[in-house]
Amino acid sequence: MNYRVTYLVIIVVVLVSWVLHPRTVFADSDPADPAVNDLAKQVNELRDQITALEAKLQQLETSKGVSAVPASSTSSTLSISGASPPTSLPQAFAGSNANQDGTIRSSEPIAAAQPSKQVGQATSTYTEFGEDTAAAPRFDNVPLDPKYQGFFRLPGTQTILKIGGYFKTDFMEDLKPAGNLAAFVPSSFPVPQVKGVYNSNVSIQPTRLSLDFRVPTTRIGEVRFYVEGDLFGTNSTTPRLRHAYAQARNVLVGQTFTNFMDPDGFPDTLDFQGPNGLVNLRNPQFRYGVSLHPGTTFYVSVEKPSSDVTFSTPQFTDQPNAPAPDGAIRIRQEFERGHIQGSFIFRDIAAFLPNGKTGSVFGWGGNLSLGVKTFGRDNIVLAGAAGHGISRYIQDTSGLGIDAEPANPANPHLQATPAVGVEAAYQHYWFKSLRSSAVYSYAAVNDTTLAAPTTYNHATYTAGNLIWNPYGSLNVGAEFLYGWKVLQNGTKANVPRIQFSAKYSFVKIDADRQ
């Protein structure tokens, strides 16, 4: 702001000319010298101007509804849009779009910042053990915490950074063979199961680290660069990239949650995987979003395709290919107590056949989700997805190769398999530091008559937990999980699991103080 810059210049002149070098100015001069009198008069005039500017500054700050910046701290709280970056460390910094709710602000006015209408109060304060909501892209890059707590300025730049993530250790005991040892995945249950087999596991693979860069610019507003990884790589503790994207003016490029899913639809589970019927996929993409109304946003994306087909019949063996990228659209409505979201996916699923031709089939699906704060701190999350050829996007069936299957023995061709996934979870707070969640989820695929008898058909996921936050960012909990799986031929398997987890987040934000 111009008056701030003027204010700074006057202070510098006064300090340099009068405070720092008074002897240089007056030491060898006669007090009666007219030059001395002129300098003294100028100093008095500068003092009067400073007093007037302080009063004007106080009036301007008051009219904007924020506390005035004390004169003694002006040099460390100047807006970066009109002056050089301060050397001290404020909590956040004024950006080029300072009038927008939730954008980067100076250290003093942040107390008056309010959550954006595009991110309601219930969304910004929803707590789930995996902290996936923090990684999700938001409209206009609005942060869940409008005060930017946990961010710090990179020296010599206008960029601020938050180092996020957490250290997590899981202790698991399976009362039957479970297939996947580090996550509860019903589709991985071995069929048939060997009786009397127990298995214990200790895993740090959910541990993750994230870097959240925010760069204020004068032309395109705030630019966000987000990178996150965990230890679920090819080996037991190999790093794996989860997110890597950049977003500016609601244009996003990179890898993050697919536009087809609801990033705020995760229940509060200790289990890393979560509900088997949940739409959950991180996908490289190009995405664009617009605001249709305060609280209402619309997104369209073009995403990396992958024809998830794996089958072999006497007639042919598949060789999948991807003729066109996947396309997704999403509309979301935020309100004070929660949100509702609907999305659609459109796909071209194809495979080369032994006769030299390509079999291709159109895939499509819809996903509807709802998150609402009910009583007190309690929350309920509901979601349902259905379509043809969307198995790749559903948690339990992704990677099984059943987006499409062969059909019609007389004239074999690809058929997009109907699939469905549902989820319901309720989160209850016994006290501020003690909460529980009950979760139910179901996923199913309607296989063709030519599908192998051992092909996945449907499975169920249930969970109940107790999570305690004893102090700071430490969270500990216990969870009981039970799931079962049924194959195309009717054979089944079920697994109970007991899990204990401890997690220490690198950044602790108290939702009550946001």
Question: How far lies 71's CA from each of 4, 55, 75, in Å?
Answer: 11, 11, 8
- Can you give the pLDDT at residue 412? 76
CB 38 within 8 A of CB 74: no
Q: What's the token pair of residue 268?
A: 């509060």
Q: Kindly state the average pLDDT of the residues 296-322.
A: 87
Residue span(s) of the chain under CATH 2.40.160.10 come to 125-513
Question: How far lies 318's CA from each of 105, 221, 308, 311, 326, in Å?
Answer: 55, 47, 10, 6, 20
- Can you give the pLDDT at residue 449? 87
Report the distance separating Cα 266 and Cα 208, nearest Å.
17
Cis peptide before 192 (omega within 30 of 0): yes
Q: Kindly state the average pLDDT of the residues 272-286.
A: 97
Long-range contacts at 75-84 (CB < 8 A, ≥ 24 apart): 75/8, 75/11, 76/107, 77/106, 77/107, 77/108, 78/4, 78/5, 78/8, 78/106, 79/1, 79/4, 79/106, 80/158, 80/216, 81/216, 81/218, 82/1, 82/2, 82/4, 82/5, 83/4, 83/5, 83/8
Type and span of the H or E element at 319: strand 319-321
> Would you tell me how many other CB atoms lie within 10 Å of the CB of residue 415?
20
In the chain, the N- to C-terminal Cα span, in Å, equals: 27
Q: What is the percentage of the chain residues whose pLDDT exceeds 70?
A: 79
In this structure, is the dihedral angle defined by the CA atoms of residues 64, 70, 76 and 78, taken in order, positive or negative?
Answer: positive
Assigned superfamily of 125-513: Porin (2.40.160.10)
CB 268 within 8 A of CB 127: yes
Q: Is 452 helix (H, G, I), strand (E, B) or coil?
A: coil
Q: Kindly state the average pLDDT of the residues 96-119.
A: 47
Identify the top-confidence range among 250-264, 302-316, 356-370, 401-415. Answer: 250-264
DSSP string, 234-300: SSTT--EEEEEEEEETTEEEEEEE-TTS-TT-----SSSS--TTSB--EEEEEEEEEEEETTEEEEE
Q: Is the pLDDT of residue 97 over 50?
A: no
pLDDT in tens, 467-494: 999 988 999 999 999 999 999 999 999 9
pLDDT-based confidence at residue 91 (cuts at 50, 70, 90): very low
- Can you give the pLDDT at residue 118? 81
Report the distance separating Cα 245 and Cα 170, nearest Å.
29
The strand ranges marked E within 353-408 are 358-373, 379-388, 404-407
What string of H, E and C letters represents the secondary structure of 152-185? Answer: EECCCCCCEEEEEEEEEEEEEEECCCCCCCCCCC
Report the distance separating Cα 38 and Cα 256, nearest Å.
66
What region does 272 belong to: left with phi over 0, alpha with psi -120 to 50, or beta? alpha
pLDDT in tens, 147-189: 888 899 999 999 999 999 999 999 999 999 999 999 999 999 9
Q: Angle at the Cα of 114 (from 242 to 209), degrees rounded to 5?
A: 20
Q: Is the pLDDT of residue 96 over 50?
A: no
**296-303 and 319-321 strand pairing:** unpaired
pLDDT-based confidence at residue 64 (cuts at 50, 70, 90): low
* 217-251 as b/e: b if 16+ CB within 10 A: eeeebbbbbbbbbbbbeeeeeeeeebbbbbbbebe
Q: Kindly state the average pLDDT of the residues 304-312.
A: 88
Q: Is the pLDDT of residue 78 over 60?
A: no
- Can you give the pLDDT at residue 337? 93
pLDDT in tens, 406-417: 888 777 788 999
Report the distance separating Cα 13 and Cα 18, nearest Å.
8
Report the distance separating Cα 407 and Cα 385, nearest Å.
24
Report the distance separating Cα 131 and Cα 164, nearest Å.
10
pLDDT in tens, 193-211: 888 889 999 999 999 999 9
Q: Angle at the Cα of 89 (from 83 to 92), degrees rounded to 5?
A: 75
2-14 and 34-63 helices cross at what angle (nearest 10)?
150
- Can you give the pLDDT at residue 139? 94
User: Which amino acid belongs to residue 485?
Assistant: K
Q: What is the percentage of the chain residues whose pLDDT exceeds 90?
A: 61
- Can you give the pLDDT at residue 221? 87
Q: Is the pLDDT of residue 7 over 70?
A: no
Q: Which of 9-23, 178-192, 252-266, 377-391 has the lowest mean pLDDT?
A: 9-23
- Can you give the pLDDT at residue 369? 98
- Can you give the pLDDT at residue 210? 97
Q: Kindly state the average pLDDT of the residues 23-42.
A: 58
Based on C-alpha coordinates, what's the Rg of the chain? 29
Q: Is 32 helix (H, G, I), strand (E, B) or coil?
A: coil
Q: Is 306 helix (H, G, I), strand (E, B) or coil?
A: coil
Q: What is the pTM of this model?
A: 0.78
Report the distance separating Cα 492 and Cα 486, nearest Å.
4
Q: What are phi and psi of 18, to 5 degrees?
A: -120, -40
pLDDT-based confidence at residue 278 (cuts at 50, 70, 90): very high
pLDDT-based confidence at residue 22 (cuts at 50, 70, 90): very low
Q: Which of 3-7, 116-120, 433-437, 491-495 has the lowest mean pLDDT?
A: 3-7
What mean pLDDT value characterizes the chain?
A: 83
